[in-house]
Amino acid sequence: MTPPRANSAAARDAAYALHPYTDLRTHIETGPMVISRGQGVRVWDDAGKEYIDAIAGLWCASLGFSNERLVAAAAKQMRTLPFYHSFAAKSHEPMIDLAEMLIARAPVPMSRAFFANSGSEANDTAIKMVWYFNNALGRPKKKKIIGRIKGYHGITVASGSLTGLAANHRSFDIPLPGFVHTMTPHHYHNAEAGESEEAFATRCAEELEKLILAEDPETVAAMWAEPVMGAGGVIVPPRTYFEKIQAVLKKYDVLLVADEVICGFWRTANYWGTQTFGMQPDILTCAKALSASFLPISAVLVSDRIFQALADESHAIGTFGHGYTYSGHPVPAAVAVETLKIYDETDIGSHVRTVGPYLQAALRRRFSGHELVGEVRGIGLIAALELVADKATRTNFDPGLKIGARAAKLLEANGVIGRAMVNDTLAFSPPLIITEAEIDEMLDGYARALDELAAQLRREKLAVVR
């Protein structure tokens, strides 16, 4: 890539902006891709090049990059009440409407909705609620939180501790004490020879129980789980996994928190990923597609058992001493209300139930036999291709080769924005409005990019085809 031109947007970005999830030293030299506009499932860069965004931004632009109803909802609310807070029992109709709508749509009975600004904040809030809950019940030792290796729950100090990815811990001095991680439920890599999905799920539950016993059940408060693990590689749980995990949690009175930040709002072909996999959470966090990501907002839904304890403790103290200036901000709340109405009125779930199986079948048909693809996995409109150096042994490439990053660059050259993750996994999470024709076009770009990458790696003798 050529260095950014002087005085261009790219040059100014390289000079002044500090980017998340970016090699900051390299960025100074190469600069950014500057996205200028969006329409439907497509975006354009500042040079006019068009791309299908296969990952919907960051798993989040569920209604694409243009929707006049959401624009109008934001504008109307800004003219009516552009800001108010929710501290000290203040409220406004957009927040009230949204809370009511979320409780009505919850996958299991829930009592109240608390609002924040991002998935990270929602999970951080839920961690504090779990601690507050156990203090309210007179269980001050029951505070440890279980995440999963390769799980992703955010990047605040607490939610980053819960996340199970090395890059989010290294050099940040996290995880904090009291955060522990159990095994990744990935059958492809972690199952023993000949082990069925059901038997593997049993072993995952046994490992969880061993962890709880080793830590002392009287000290373990909650476990977090994404229905489908997103940033850790789009890992779909093995059959019977959550049934067996939940039996262990119930045995030791450990709460289950469902992180629906990626999976919520039809991504897995049900309204909630929780419903897809039979989860019965005590707390649910959501964000991203809550507002189609037109504006930042997230929510924490709590069961009545949790809420009553929070209410009692706040009454004893005099306040529930937690919240954000923008908790339930009226403009994002109004956009979220309109987003949920659009999901209902357009029957987006039926559309996902049509195009989701089409995507899954097309991925397997076109890429299962590709020389670089070790596993195709997914459900609904979330999926992944994992690139491997040796298909027979399921051996990944040396991370230092950055094969996934190379693939992502080739995707961009072929008119698709994708995302490379751990183990050179390429993710799919397109806007829910994508059509079958657009899926075909998107996969054509992936096919060209992977064929180009395979040719390069054959020349470099970096892959083994078996």
Which tens digits make up the pLDDT trace of 354-387? 999 999 999 999 999 999 999 999 999 999 999 9
Closest to 297 (Cα-Cα) out of 312, 309, 284, 286: 286
Q: Helical H runs in 191-264? A: 197-215, 241-251
Do the Cβ atoms of 59 and 259 come closer than 8 Å? no
Is domain 69-345 classified as CATH 3.40.630.30?
no
Identity at 17, one-letter amino acid code: A
Q: What are residue 283's DSSP bridge partners?
A: 257, 302
Q: What is the pTM of this model?
A: 0.96
Indicate the pLDDT class of residue 209, thresholds 50, 70 and 90: very high
Map out the domains of the chain as residue ranges: 33-66+347-460, 69-345
Selecting from 3.90.600.10, 3.30.1180.10, 3.90.1660.10, 3.90.1150.10, what CATH number does the domain 33-66+347-460 have?
3.90.1150.10
pLDDT of residue 7: 79
**Cα–Cα distance between 387 and 418 in angstroms, integer?**
14
Do the Cβ atoms of 168 and 206 come closer than 8 Å? no
pLDDT of residue 3: 53
Distance between start and end Cα atoms, the chain: 34
Higher pLDDT, 462 or 63: 63
Apex 213 CA angle, 208 and 217, nearest 5: 100
Rounded to a whole number of angstroms, the CA Rg of the chain reads 22
**Cα–Cα distance between 463 and 387 in angstroms, integer?**
10
pLDDT of residue 465: 64
pLDDT of residue 246: 98
**Cα–Cα distance between 88 and 431 in angstroms, integer?**
38
Half-sphere exposure of 26 (CA within 13 A, CB side): 5
Query: Residue 451: which region, alpha, beta or left (left: phi > 0; alpha: psi -120 to 50)?
Result: alpha
Is residue 233 helix, strand or coil?
A: coil
Which tens digits make up the pLDDT trace of 264-280? 999 999 999 999 999 99
**Cα–Cα distance between 12 and 421 in angstroms, integer?**
28
Element at 145 (helix H, strand E): strand 144-148
Cα–Cα distance list, 308 to 113, 200, 302, 303, 304 (Å): 13, 37, 10, 9, 6
Residue 12 has pLDDT above 90, yes or no: yes
